[in-house]
A and B are shown apart, each in its own frame.
Chain A
Amino acid sequence: MSESLDQSLFLLGCSHQVADLSAREKISLPSSSIDEFYNGLGKIQGIEEYLLLNTCNRTEIYAASKSNLSRNLIIQYLSKFRNLDPAFLSRYSYQRSNHEVVSHLFEVASGIDSQMVGETEILGQVKKAYSDACKRNISGKMLNRLFQKGFQAAKWARTHTGISRGQVNLGNVLCELARRIFGKVANCRLLVLGAGEVAENTMEAFKSRGSQAITVTGRTFDWCPLSRNKPSELAEKFGGFALSFNQYKDSLHLFDVILTSTTSGQSMIGVEDIKRAMKKRPAKPLFLIDASVPRNIEEDVASIDNVFLYNMDDISEIANENLKSRMSEVERCRGALAQRAQKLWDQMTQQKEIS
């Protein structure tokens, strides 16, 4: 009895915790081969229920069986499928069994095992993997219970602990600041001067929150519909507008959030420009972000009432503070999830003994 219980749940996985990017790339399954992988996995002797969680940072195989299940068969199957040396796979993967699987899934679904602690995307990915397994009829009584309880545990962790508190992505930090200033980010009008990773990140974050008024301008931008310079490309990519570079100073008052991200090395927005803009929108705050090094916005504009100026150091500091705050909650969350996992495992084994 104890032997069979010992083999009830098994997990073979690879994630950022044990493997670097190049190793993860080798182990990860291309989406085109998922069907084939599942077909072969189902033929392994003793395996009754199984599920594959395959994301950019993680490849995990969950398996359940009432009889003896040889872990080696699963490891061999994956290494053969991906043409990997078994020693390589052993080095860059981890194995869990029984209540460890429950604990691991709870941690993964709640986001505390993610590279960006507390991120919420992973829960959607786990749900998608489970839904896919249900459609294929390969998830049974044990995995159904495990994953449904995993979703509940993830929800509990996000509600009752601070693991998702504060934003840690730069674009999301800017959106959070914009929300504190203006309320709905969707109603904010964003002007981006220049291009770059921060600019793209910000536009993506604003766009994902429903912002419809994204405008891009840049020194290399030429007002010509055929030009494919970076700012106009960005505007097109995020469904925004392109603004001629020589017009932006006269249009500052039309925007709520202005981000500069250029390598010009000179001041592009001065105190007088902002004073002029604020005269046209006195009671409306203005949020300025200087993501350039050297800076593009004169520091003195911060002294103007209703103007909030942030530079990259400020944004990074907030992101780091939020991350620290999340990290301080991880241990508390892990302990609580372990208790819930143990309780679920006890229930699962008791039911099994009764049946």
Chain B
Amino acid sequence: MSVNDTRELLWLAGGLYGLAFAIGLLKTFKINWTPFRESPLAAISLGFILHTRALYLRGLDVHGCPLGNTLERIQFILWSLILAFLILRLLWRLDLLGSFCAGLSFCAGWLSLVFPQLDSNYWLSENYEKLFSNPWIELHASIAIFSYGLFSLLTIVCAMYLVQRKALLSRKFNKLSSFLPPIQELEVAAMRLLTVGVLFLTISIIVGGMHWTRHPELVSQAKLSVTLILWIGYLMVFILYKTGKLYGSKFSKTSITLYLVTIGSLALVNTRTKESNTTPPPVITIPEYSTDE
């Protein structure tokens, strides 16, 4: 095990998230050994430190924000998800949310590592140029991915809302629903996450748009359309919630659907990239990375 190997660090971070998830589940089902008390948070925190180091090392390799292949994009989204959770955790003690986040990060993180083809060494190719030659594009991409992390967390909170709602409507309270927060608090949390997520996505769109107006030829029509559709989608959900037209279960279901579309659009972008045999672009409106400026 080397602390200077990106992939090994990512495996380890994923393992720690998995450990946090497993302990969180045991705690949920009332297996309360004293060492378990704070260990999920400790495992998530340690995993996050290793995750950060892994992305930092990869960033050094690619000379920029590591968003050049599918593994990097997935890992960056998961990193943002855990970061958002840790920030929320400071304000709000929600161990079960941590378990959900850790579980998702463990599954998605290890799955992305299992398939080596998702992690092409594009920076080792002879004609490789710096991933983001323009720092504004790098900022745009990283903010966009961070907003995706927030939307991941939003999706988890919405799923928790639906589980709690189902328990209340069916009058069947299992152990899982007993540990979920109150439905009103979940809705408030979802709204706050949506607000912050939309804010970050909007900033990302503005920053990316400034570059696009100068180099429209560098952004494909498909990517531009998908990005704008997602942004408008989240913005519409935000406005409809604020005007009292979309709330409760419909709000949660719409948010989850929108997130699934977002994830689906990532795959669409990847496929297209593969076919064109060019360096894979990051998500949202990022143009081809090497701009000849």
Contact = CB atoms under 8 A, between A and B. Distances in A.
A177 B168 contact: yes
Nearest to A281: B244
Interface string A297-313: 00000100110101000
B241 A283 contact: yes
Contacts of A180: 164, 167-168, 173, 177, 182-183
Given A180-B182, A285-B248, 20 more contacts: A179-B182, A180-B167, A180-B173, A180-B183, A181-B182, A181-B183, A182-B184, A183-B182, A183-B184, A282-B244, A282-B247, A283-B191, A283-B241, A283-B244, A284-B184, A285-B184, A302-B169, A305-B250, A306-B249, A314-B171
A183 B244 contact: no
5 contacts: A177-B168, A182-B183, A183-B181, A305-B248, A318-B171
Interface string A278-299: 0100111100000000000000
Nearest to A305: B248
B185 interface: yes
Given A180-B164, A283-B191, A317-B171, A306 B181 contact: no
B265 to A, nearest CB: 28
Interface of B: 164, 167-169, 171, 173, 177, 181-185, 187, 191, 241, 244-245, 247-250
A82 to B, nearest CB: 45
Nearest to A314: B171
Contacts of B241: 283
A314 B247 CA distance: 26
Contacts of A283: 187, 191, 241, 244, 247-248
Contacts of A282: 244-245, 247
A285 B182 CA distance: 11
Nearest to B251: A283
A180 B171 CA distance: 12
A285 B181 CA distance: 14
Question: Chain B interface mostly helix, strand, loop or mixed?
Answer: helix
A170 to B, nearest CB: 14
For B184, B187, B249, which residue has the most chain A Cβ atoms within 10 angstroms? B184
A302 B249 CA distance: 13
B247 A306 contact: yes
Interface of A: 177, 179-183, 279, 282-285, 302, 305-306, 308, 310, 314, 317-318
Contacts of B248: 283, 285, 305-306
Contacts of A306: 247-249
Nearest to A182: B184
Nearest to B185: A183
Contacts of A317: 171
With a 10 A CB-CB cut-off, give which of B169, B181, B182, B187 has the most chain A CB atoms.
B182
A73 B273 CA distance: 96
A278 to B, nearest CB: 9
Contacts of B183: 180-182, 285
Contacts of A181: 168, 182-184
A285 B187 CA distance: 10
B130 to A, nearest CB: 46
Contacts of A314: 171
A155 to B, nearest CB: 14
A331 to B, nearest CB: 18
Nearest to A315: B171
A81 B249 CA distance: 65
Nearest to A176: B173
Given A181-B182, A283-B191, A305 B247 contact: yes
Nearest to A187: B184
Contacts of A183: 181-182, 184-185
Contacts of B181: 183
A276 to B, nearest CB: 13
B131 to A, nearest CB: 42
Contacts of A285: 183-184, 187, 248
A48 B250 CA distance: 70
B162 to A, nearest CB: 12
A284 B184 CA distance: 7
Contacts of B191: 283
Contacts of A310: 171
A275 to B, nearest CB: 13
A317 B185 CA distance: 26
